[in-house]
């Protein structure tokens, strides 16, 4: 569907909004972890689900923790957070965690923090509200991720992908914000209103 493709202008606006959002997310994450954290400038792409799987596949050469969190509202979708084992272990060390469950919990917290700070800010700028479901760790091996039903609901996804880095901590992760067709068209309308105000 052609009307689901973002124009260059629309992409620019979205990028601007994301830049604002990731700035505040960085601060919150740094606060939570009591360490200096940085997020890379988010990279915005619209891709088909197959392309997304390819992107996921590229991540799977090392073993990963993978968590997701759904958000709802006019702007709705799901976020997917990847963190590799080494980073997860460093995170555990940094937070002085004792068990695997504690580590899972910390990863979920990170997922929640990243998802909500990114999307809340984005929603605010677009004058809407989002609410968040509980995040969960997917215990699915990455090879089988294509079978995960939720992903098959997405024909097209907006992928907002950013790397999380704690330079001295050697912790990095990758978060994808995924939204589907109806949200994409809602987003387009919103982006255009913002665009018109700018002109």
136 binds other proteins (CB under 8 A): yes
Residues 108 and 67: beta-carbon distance below 8 Å: yes
Q: How far is the CB of 195 from other proteins (least distance, A)?
A: 27
Of the candidates 163, 171, 161, 168, which has an alpha carbon nearest to the alpha carbon of residue 40?
A: 163
Q: How far is the CB of 36 from other proteins (least distance, A)?
A: 16
126 binds other proteins (CB under 8 A): no
Identify the residue among 4, 28, 46, 47 touching other proteins (CB under 8 A): 28
Largest Cα–Cα separation, the chain: 55
Print the binding letters for residues 79-108 with other proteins: x by CB under 8 A, - otherwise. Answer: -----------------x----xx-xx--x
Q: How far is the CB of 101 from other proteins (least distance, A)?
A: 5
Q: How far is the CB of 143 from other proteins (least distance, A)?
A: 15
* 3-state per-residue secondary structure call for 40-85: CCCEEEEEEHHHHHHHHHHHCCCCEEEEEEEEEECCCEEEEEEEEH
The backbone torsions φ and ψ at residue 169, rounded to the nearest 5 degrees and listed phi first, read: -95, -15
Q: Which is nearer to other proteins, 113 or 159 (CB)?
A: 113
132 binds other proteins (CB under 8 A): yes
Q: How far is the CB of 168 from other proteins (least distance, A)?
A: 20
Q: How far is the CB of 162 from other proteins (least distance, A)?
A: 17
Q: Which is nearer to other proteins, 134 or 199 (CB)?
A: 134
46 in the Ramachandran plot: left (φ > 0), alpha (ψ -120 to 50) or beta? beta
113 binds other proteins (CB under 8 A): yes
Binding residues for other proteins, per CB under 8 A? 28, 31-32, 96, 101-102, 104-105, 108-109, 112-113, 116-117, 120, 132, 134-137
């Amino acid at each position: 569907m052609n009307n689901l493709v973002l124009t260059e202008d629309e992409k620019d606006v979205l990028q601007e909004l994301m830049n604002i959002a990731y700035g505040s997310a960085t601060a919150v994450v740094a606060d939570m972890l009591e360490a200096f954290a940085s997020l890379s400038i988010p990279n915005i792409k619209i891709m088909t689900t197959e392309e997304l799987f390819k992107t996921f596949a590229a991540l799977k050469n090392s073993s990963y923790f993978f968590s997701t969190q759904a958000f709802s509202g006019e702007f709705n979708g799901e976020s997917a957070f990847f963190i590799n084992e080494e980073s997860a272990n460093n995170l555990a060390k940094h937070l002085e965690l004792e068990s695997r469950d504690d580590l899972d919990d910390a990863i979920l917290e990170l997922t929640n923090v990243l998802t909500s700070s990114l999307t809340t800010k984005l929603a605010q700028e677009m004058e809407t509200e989002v609410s968040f479901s509980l995040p969960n760790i997917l215990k699915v091996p990455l090879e089988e991720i294509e079978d995960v039903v939720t992903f098959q609901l997405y024909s097209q996804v907006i992928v907002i992908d950013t790397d999380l880095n704690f330079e001295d901590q050697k912790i990095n992760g990758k978060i994808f914000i995924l939204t589907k067709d109806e949200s994409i068209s809602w987003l387009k309308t919103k982006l255009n209103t913002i665009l018109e105000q700018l002109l």
